[in-house]
C-alpha cells in the first residue's frame, strides 16, 4: 500500500503541488469513486486509479540507452559539473532512472540507465562478466606483445591485477579493447600500463547491446528484442 499522492507523482501526474491541486479539483478516482484525500493508502496493483478518466499504470520499468557525449560526468547529481541526467528527457524525471555503471567524463558512447534495481545490480555485479567493447585512439602503436599481455591479465602500475581482456589493433594508434570488468579508468589505465596514453575513448558495445546509429547526446528506450537479450522479464 502507498499514499495516493505519492503514487500520482510517481506516475507522472505532476509535481507534489500539482498533484495536490489535481486531487482538490476532484479529477482522480479510486475504483470508480472520486477521491480528494492524497494521504489515502492505495494498492495500485489491485485498484484502478484514474486521472481525468485515464487509468494510471504507476512507475513503469524503463531501460534506456544513451550515446553519451564527452563533458558530462556519470552521476545522479554534481555540485559543479554537468551530469548525464541532464541529457534525459524531462518527462522521465519522475521515473527514477539510474546510470548502469559509469563512463568517465571524457569517454563517449553507450551508457545504460534503468529504474529496475535487479537489472542494475545484475549488470554491474563483478560476478557477472558482461563484455564491454571500446574503441580507443592512443599514442603509440599496439602490437602482439601488448595483445598477449592483455590476454594474460594485465597488472596495472598500482599493482591492480585485471581479468584477461582482448586488445585488437585496428589501425595506426587505434585499437578495439574488450573487457569484462569495470574498474576505475580501466581501459585508460590498461593502455597506460603498456605505455600507450589514450586520447579518445568510446564504448560501442555492452553485452548484447550495440550503440548502432544512435546520435551522440541522444537517448532511446531498448527494443523488446534487446530486453530479451538482456534476459529482462
Ligand atoms: N575505461 C576507462 O578508462 N574509462 C571509461 O570511461 C570506461 C572504461
For the segment 26-56, what is each residue's pLDDT rounded down to a tens digit?
999 998 999 999 999 998 767 789 999 888 8
pLDDT surpasses 60 at 233: no
Reduced to 3 states (helix: H, G, I; strand: E, B; else coil), residue 161 is: strand
Ligand 1 pocket member 186 (CB < 6 A): yes
Q: How far apart are alpha carbons 103 and 70 in whole angstroms?
A: 9
Q: Ligand 1 test: best mutation among 103, 110, 200, most atoms within 8 Å of CB?
A: 103
Q: Which atom of ligand 1 is nearest to the CA of 132?
A: 8
Ligand 1 pocket member 181 (CB < 6 A): no
pLDDT surpasses 60 at 14: yes
Residue 104 annotated as catalytic: yes
Is the CB of residue 162 less than 8 Å from the CB of residue 183?
A: yes
pLDDT, average across residues 183-200: 96
Q: How far apart are alpha carbons 193 and 138 in whole angstroms?
A: 13
Residue 61: predicted pLDDT: 80
Q: How far is CA 174 from CA 90, 100, 131, in A?
A: 37, 26, 19
Which cell is 167 given?
A: 586488445
Residue 233 or residue 135, greater confidence: 135
Reduced to 3 states (helix: H, G, I; strand: E, B; else coil), residue 55 is: strand
Report CA(230)–ligand 1 centroid distance (Å).
22
pLDDT surpasses 70 at 58: no
pLDDT, average across residues 177-195: 95
The 10 Å Cβ neighbour count of residue 150 is 24
Report CA(136)–ligand 1 centroid distance (Å).
10
**Mean pLDDT over each residue of the chain, to the nearest integer:** 92
Q: How far is CA 186 from CA 54, 58, 100, 158, 201, in A?
A: 48, 38, 16, 12, 11
Range with top average pLDDT, 81-95, 113-127, 169-183: 169-183
Which of 37, 52, 78, 104 is an active site residue? 104
Residue 231: predicted pLDDT: 80
pLDDT, average across residues 96-110: 95
Residue 27 or residue 12, greater confidence: 27
Place of cell 544513451: 66
Place of cell 558512447: 109
Residue 95 is given by DSSP the state G
Q: What is the pLDDT of residues 202-221, one digit of tens each?
A: 999 999 999 999 999 999 99
Report CA(102)–ligand 1 centroid distance (Å).
8
pLDDT surpasses 70 at 193: yes
Q: How far apart are alpha carbons 105 and 36 in whole angstroms?
A: 46
- End-to-end, the C-alpha distance of the chain in Å comes to 24
pLDDT surpasses 60 at 166: yes
**Residue 134's closest CA among 87, 106, 166, 112?**
166
Ligand 1 pocket member 35 (CB < 6 A): no
pLDDT, average across residues 184-191: 96
Least reliable range by pLDDT among 11-25, 136-150, 184-198, 207-221: 11-25
Amino acid at each position: 500500500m502507498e499514499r495516493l499522492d505519492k503514487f500520482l507523482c510517481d506516475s507522472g501526474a505532476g509535481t507534489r503541488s500539482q498533484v495536490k491541486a489535481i486531487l482538490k479539483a476532484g479529477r482522480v478516482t479510486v475504483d470508480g469513486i472520486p477521491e480528494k484525500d492524497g494521504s489515502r493508502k492505495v494498492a495500485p496493483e489491485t485498484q484502478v486509479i484514474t486521472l481525468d478518466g485515464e487509468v494510471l499504470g504507476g512507475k513503469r520499468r524503463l531501460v534506456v540507452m544513451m550515446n553519451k557525449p564527452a563533458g558530462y560526468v556519470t552521476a545522479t547529481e554534481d555540485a559543479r559539473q554537468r551530469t548525464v541526467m541532464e541529457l534525459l528527457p524531462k518527462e522521465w524525471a519522475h521515473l527514477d532512472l539510474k546510470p548502469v555503471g559509469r563512463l568517465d567524463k571524457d569517454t563517449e558512447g553507450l551508457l545504460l540507465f534503468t529504474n529496475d534495481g535487479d537489472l542494475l545490480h545484475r549488470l554491474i555485479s563483478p560476478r557477472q562478466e558482461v563484455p564491454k567493447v571500446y574503441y580507443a585512439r592512443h599514442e603509440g602503436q599496439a602490437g602482439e606483445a601488448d595483445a598477449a599481455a592483455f590476454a594474460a591479465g594485465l597488472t596495472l602500475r598500482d599493482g591492480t591485477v585485471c581479468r584477461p581482456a582482448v586488445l585488437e589493433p585496428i589501425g595506426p594508434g587505434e585499437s578495439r579493447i574488450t573487457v569484462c570488468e569495470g574498474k576505475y579508468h580501466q581501459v585508460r589505465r590498461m593502455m597506460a600500463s603498456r605505455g600507450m596514453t589514450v586520447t579518445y575513448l568510446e564504448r560501442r558495445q555492452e553485452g548484447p547491446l550495440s550503440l548502432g546509429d544512435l546520435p551522440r547526446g541522444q537517448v532511446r528506450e531498448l527494443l523488446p528484442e534487446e530486453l530479451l537479450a538482456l534476459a529482462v522479464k
